[in-house]
Amino acid sequence: MVVERGGAAEPDSEWLDDMVKKLMTVLEAQLNAVASAEPKGDAQGRAADARTLSALERTLERLSRLERERTAIREKKIAKGKAGHGADARATLERRLDQRLAAQTKKRPARKP
């Protein structure tokens, strides 16, 4: 699923996370099926098993890389969110201090130089 944000299309984060989990589950089932299958004695059967294992290995590498990238993206979003929250808190504090300073200035009588 693709979500439009700011004119650029990017994959929906939750959907992509779910797809990675599903693909990992399917891959695990395939690996279990290969592990539980009886080895084939002829050369053609062994070659087929080798191709299957090679394909599963490539799939696992791709999914692992994708999961690492997704984790890095999530960590960046969390760090960005915390930094944004700090900036908002600082702005709020500055406004409150300005309001207090203005209130105290009004309470003091005007002094002549």
Domain boundaries, the chain: 11-106
**With 0-12 CB in 10 A as exposed, 13-18 as middle and 19+ as buried, what is 60?**
middle
What's the pLDDT score for residue 2?
Answer: 47
C-alpha to C-alpha distances, 64 to 26, 57, 67, 88, 90, nearest whole angstrom: 14, 10, 5, 36, 39
Take residue 47 and report the two structure tokens written for it: 């070659």
110 pLDDT exceeds 70? Answer: no
**Residue with more model confidence, 110 or 19:** 19
- CB of 20 within 8 A of CB of 67? yes
- Which residues, other chains included, contact 60 with Cβ-Cβ below 8 Å and sequence gap of 6+? 27
pLDDT digits (tens, 9 = 90+) for 86-105: 667 778 888 888 888 888 87
pLDDT digits (tens, 9 = 90+) for 7-47: 445 557 788 788 888 888 888 888 888 888 887 778 888 88
